[in-house]
Amino acid sequence: MILVTGGAGFIGSNFVLDWLAGSDEPVLNLDKLTYAGNLNNLVSLEGDARHVFVQGDICDGAAVLALLNEHRPRAILHFAAESHVDRSIHGPGEFINTNINGTFALLEAARSYWSALDADAKAAFRFLHVSTDEVYGSLGPHDAPFSETTAYAPNSPYSASKAASDHLVRAYHHTYGMPTLTTNCSNNYGPYHFPEKLIPLIIANALAGKALPIYGDGMQVRDWLFVSDHCAAIRKVLADGTPGEVYNVGGWNEMANLHVVHTLCDMLDRAAPKQGSYRDQIRYVTDRPGHDRRYAIDAGKLERELGWKPAETFESGIAKTVQWYLSNQAWVADVQSGAYQSWVQRNYANREEGK
């Protein structure tokens, strides 16, 4: 068995579904079910004995240790995190608690469990920490992409909290010898993505006839990675990664946010045509504080050492994503709760239209 934290969230649920589609090894899925955790993501696993779901908080170390001792997993895959930069600006406390204190509590429970294993199980155990490229800060237009040796320079409460969690994981390997692995990935997109992030927000707002808000000039550059490629990379790192190592995961798809939005509008013009173009709904709004200008990932180490590279291009991945959202409007409607709508209004209401 493996333990997945945050397995009802976007990347976590995709990983659980992907894992059980290709393996009969059971998954113990621990998720607090905050606003971004959605059991509807996992409805296809209802009645599947290979999926054991537990609602719980990684900050509760005693409860986590009890689960570890009961289910005896051979690995922990740590997805659980607060992950939205805008939310971290409005309320950094939750990010500190979950991403730093929660990771610490999880590491302590894992260390206690791992220390008591027999020699073979101890050597085979893995703690895989899923992190982000945002810990590296921001790149200039001509800077080399982030590598695993790039110095950390986080610029938001979210990225600072993830950087702290990365350091804790590193310290538990070097201090205690716990076999940890860390992956730092670029911007994911795909099915089950909560519509506060750029791609699902644009799709949802476009179809609802709402404004498509673009921060600043929209020329912030990100590397885009289809979520199934990320899942494949994590499986590869879990199977063959060297304990103590960091692996950057990227899609080799650098693209400005505005180009992504234009691509989505053009695809929707063809797939769900309306009078005029969806581009007509684009509105430029005041940029968010400390908005990093460019991220880019050098995923060469993962390809050289473990043989992984993405299977999807941006064109193929975004086509699958748009089709999924068009085919799953009930899922979108369900997650757009009153609480989510209140947050969207709070985040965008005070941003004057810029252009």
Q: Cα–Cα distance between 80 and 54 in angstroms, integer?
A: 13
pLDDT over 90 percentage in the chain: 87
Chain centroid to Cα 155, Å, comes to: 18
Question: Residue 276 — pLDDT band, cuts 50, 70, 90?
Answer: very high
Question: Residue 289 — pLDDT band, cuts 50, 70, 90?
Answer: confident
Query: How much is the average pLDDT of 304-316?
Result: 97
DSSP H stretches of helix in 116-156? 119-124
Residue 12 phi/psi, 5° resolution?
-60, -45
Q: What is the pLDDT of residue 352?
A: 58
Q: What is the pLDDT of residue 355?
A: 41
Q: Cα–Cα distance between 73 and 52 in angstroms, integer?
A: 12
- The CA-CA-CA angle for residues 342, 347, 348, to 5°, reads 105
Residue 16 phi/psi, 5° resolution?
-60, -45
Tell me if 126 sits within 8 A of 238, measured CB to CB: yes
Burial class (CB in 10 A: 0-12, 13-18, 19+), 210: middle
Q: What is the pLDDT of residue 196?
A: 81
Greater pLDDT, 169 or 291: 169
Q: What is the pLDDT of residue 353?
A: 59
Q: Cα–Cα distance between 93 and 318 in angstroms, integer?
A: 33
Residues serving a catalytic function are 133-134, 158
pLDDT over 70 percentage in the chain: 95
Q: Cα–Cα distance between 4 and 52 in angstroms, integer?
A: 10
Q: What is the pLDDT of residue 339?
A: 57
Q: Cα–Cα distance between 351 and 283 in angstroms, integer?
A: 11
* Averaged confidence pLDDT in the chain: 94
Question: Residue 351 — pLDDT band, cuts 50, 70, 90?
Answer: low
Query: How much is the average pLDDT of 204-223?
Result: 96
Question: Residue 30 — pLDDT band, cuts 50, 70, 90?
Answer: very high
pLDDT digits (tens, 9 = 90+) for 58-95: 999 999 999 999 999 999 999 999 987 888 899 999 99
Q: What is the pLDDT of residue 290?
A: 85
Is the pLDDT at 325 greater than 60, yes or no? yes
Domain ranges for the chain: 2-189+225-251+294-311
Is the pLDDT at 271 greater than 90, yes or no? yes
Is the pLDDT at 292 greater than 50, yes or no? yes
Is the pLDDT at 225 greater than 70, yes or no? yes
Each residue of 135-148: b (16+ CB within 10 Å) or e? bbbbbeeeeebbeb
pLDDT digits (tens, 9 = 90+) for 127-140: 999 999 999 999 99
Q: Among 3.30.1330.10, 3.40.50.410, 3.30.1490.20, 3.40.50.720, what is the CATH number of 2-189+225-251+294-311? A: 3.40.50.720
Q: What is the pLDDT of residue 345?
A: 62
pLDDT digits (tens, 9 = 90+) for 227-256: 999 999 999 999 999 999 999 999 999 999
Q: In terms of DSSP bridges, do strands 221-226 and 126-132 run parallel, antiparallel, or are they unpaired?
A: unpaired
DSSP H helix total and E strand total for the chain: 14, 12
Please state the pTM of the whole predicted model: 0.93
Residue 336 phi/psi, 5° resolution?
-85, 70
